[in-house]
Amino acid sequence: MPLVVREITRQTPDIVSIRMQNADASPLPAWQPGAHVDLQLITRHERQYSLCGDPADVASYRVAVRREELSRGGSHYIHAFLREGATVWVRPPRNLFELGEARAYLLLAAGIGVTPILAMARHLASVDAEWRMIVAARTRDGVAFADEIGALGERATVHVSAEEGRLDLSTLLGTIAPGTDVYACGPAAFTDALHALAPTLPEGSGIHLERFVPRAREFSPNEAFTATAARSGVTVDVPPTRSLLESLQGAGVAVSGSCLRGVCGSCAVPVLAGAVEHRDSLTTDDDARVIYPCVSRARSGEALVLDV
């Protein structure tokens, strides 16, 4: 969808928020907290950004973009060149970080990770749920949407590590009541620390993480395997040097990808047969029957049959 940038607001020295609309301000596809959109810039960079506005505002999408020191181009372009009135191409929202049913919610964000968490907090407040939100930042001027966080009342707090010391995640998770689900978004060190603490959660509680970068793990060297796209009637040989996604696309099978790093979920394909080595950062169950072919492969060179 071509959307017009209506408003760019500096949230912190490193973060700007961008509000976009249809040219005639007509309604956009609906979304729920946790959803993200893919933004395509004239530089041909495509990036995923969590929606952080109000789902009830059907005419606008709002995202926030942090200037990355090692930007691959997208965040640099947005900070340096994107202006109000420009057109950006946006794919409709997708949600891989949905809020589920829980007795209570603990929402945790660090840095730019506040974007999906803020939308969740606003929603939980509106339905009178039992929730708490903590937004961690190194310095006070590094807190994006500080006014909006403040407007959520005393359930929403900001933890500034330069003033209060590092947020003690272990102690924090040790205090939650059974049945509380944790939703968290932030840089790798933050989400990795929470992932490691998941076994310490009380009964009936779960942890849901949204990552910006892949989980650091090591895998055995790539092996060749074959994959059959059952609906397309195509079988491809996947050599060790190519991803399954590249091989499928090269054979004309309609599978799209975006991040190509196993974090966005856009390339998901259902698996009909064969064992998968899940190398993505989304799958939590080793037996999951969905593969993210941008990074995941067949286990031990087994043949895969895919529903595509």
Give the residue with the Cβ less far from ligand FES, 181 or 280.
280
Spatial contact of 42 and 73, defined as CB atoms under 8 Å apart: no
Least gap, CB of 259 to ligand FES (angstroms): 4
Tokens of 182: 């944790």
Least gap, CB of 127 to ligand FES (angstroms): 30
Residue nearest to ligand FES (CB): 294
Distance in angstroms (rounded) separating the CA atoms of residues 209 and 182: 8
Q: Contact residues for ligand FES (CB under 6 A)? A: 257-260, 262-267, 280, 292, 294
Least gap, CB of 260 to ligand FES (angstroms): 5
Give the residue with the Cβ less far from ligand FES, 90 or 267.
267
Least gap, CB of 180 to ligand FES (angstroms): 28
Give the residue with the Cβ less far from ligand FES, 119 or 294.
294
Give how far Cα 139 sits from Cα of 79, 153, 203, 245, 251, Å: 21, 21, 34, 41, 50
50 CA to centre of own chain: 7
28: left (phi over 0), alpha (psi -120 to 50) or beta: beta
Distance in angstroms (rounded) separating the CA atoms of residues 270 and 122: 33
Place of tokens 């997208």: 74
Task: Indicate the residue type of 108.
Answer: L
Q: What DSSP designation does 220 have?
A: P
Least gap, CB of 27 to ligand FES (angstroms): 27
Give the residue with the Cβ less far from ligand FES, 228 or 258.
258
Spatial contact of 157 and 135, defined as CB atoms under 8 Å apart: yes
Least gap, CB of 62 to ligand FES (angstroms): 22
Least gap, CB of 20 to ligand FES (angstroms): 22
Least gap, CB of 245 to ligand FES (angstroms): 7
SS3 250: helix
Give the residue with the Cβ less far from ligand FES, 60 or 266.
266
Give the residue with the Cβ less far from ligand FES, 75 or 266.
266
Instruction: Give the dihedral sign, CA 213/215/217/222.
Output: negative
Q: Which residues have a Cβ under 8 Å from the Cβ of 47 and sit 6 or more positions away?
A: 38, 39, 74, 75
Helix, strand, coil share of the chain (percent; to 5) = 20, 30, 50
Tokens of 67: 């200037």
Give the residue with the Cβ less far from ligand FES, 53 or 257.
257
